Amino acid sequence: MHVPRATKQERSAQTRAQILEIALDEFSARGFEAVSLRDIAEQAGVNHAMIRYHFGSKEALWKESVTYLFQRLRVEVPPLDLSSEQANLDELREYIRNYIRYCARHPEHARLMVQESITGSERLKWVAETFIGPAHERTLNMITGAQQAIGLADFDPLTLLYMLASVTQMPYLLATELKYTHDRDVLTPEAVEAHADAVIKLFFRS
Question: CB of 134 within 8 A of CB of 66?
Answer: no
Asked if the model's pLDDT at residue 43 lies above 80, the reply is: yes
**pLDDT tens digits, 51-96:** 888 888 999 999 999 999 999 999 999 987 655 545 577 888 898 9
Same domain, 116 and 66: no
Same domain, 69 and 116: no
5 burial level (CB within 10 Å; 0-12, 13-18, 19+): exposed
Question: CB of 184 within 8 A of CB of 191?
Answer: yes
Among 76, 96, 120, give the residue marking a domain's end: 76
Boundaries of domain holding 204? 79-206
Give pLDDT, residue 205: 65
Asked if the model's pLDDT at residue 2 lies above 60, the reply is: no
Same domain, 69 and 91: no
Same domain, 118 and 143: yes
Same domain, 39 and 83: no
Same domain, 98 and 159: yes
Asked if the model's pLDDT at residue 33 lies above 60, the reply is: yes
Among 76, 106, 133, give the residue marking a domain's end: 76
- One-character DSSP codes across 10-47: HHHHHHHHHHHHHHHHHHHHH-TTT--HHHHHHHHTS-
- Of the candidates 46, 41, 40, 103, the one whose C-alpha atom is nearest the C-alpha of residue 69 is 103
pLDDT confidence tier of residue 50, bands split at 50, 70 and 90? confident
| Phi, then psi, of 15 in degrees rounded to 5 | -65, -40
Same domain, 31 and 96: no
Asked if the model's pLDDT at residue 4 lies above 90, the reply is: no
Q: How many domains does the chain have?
A: 2
Position with higher pLDDT, 12 vs 118: 118
Among 76, 101, 121, give the residue marking a domain's end: 76
Same domain, 192 and 97: yes
Q: Which whole-number Å values give the CA distances from 171 to 82, 119, 142, 168, 178, in the listed order?
A: 27, 23, 24, 7, 8
Question: CB of 161 within 8 A of CB of 140?
Answer: yes
**Average pLDDT score over residue span 145-151:** 72
Give pLDDT, residue 147: 75
111 burial level (CB within 10 Å; 0-12, 13-18, 19+): buried
Question: What is the chain's mean pLDDT, rounded?
Answer: 88
pLDDT confidence tier of residue 180, bands split at 50, 70 and 90? very high
Same domain, 96 and 181: yes
pTM reported for the whole predicted model? 0.86
Give pLDDT, residue 194: 97
Burial 143-173 (b: 16+ CB within 10 A, else e): bebbbebbebeeeebeebbeebbebbbebbe
The enclosing domain of 179 has a CATH number of: 1.10.357.10
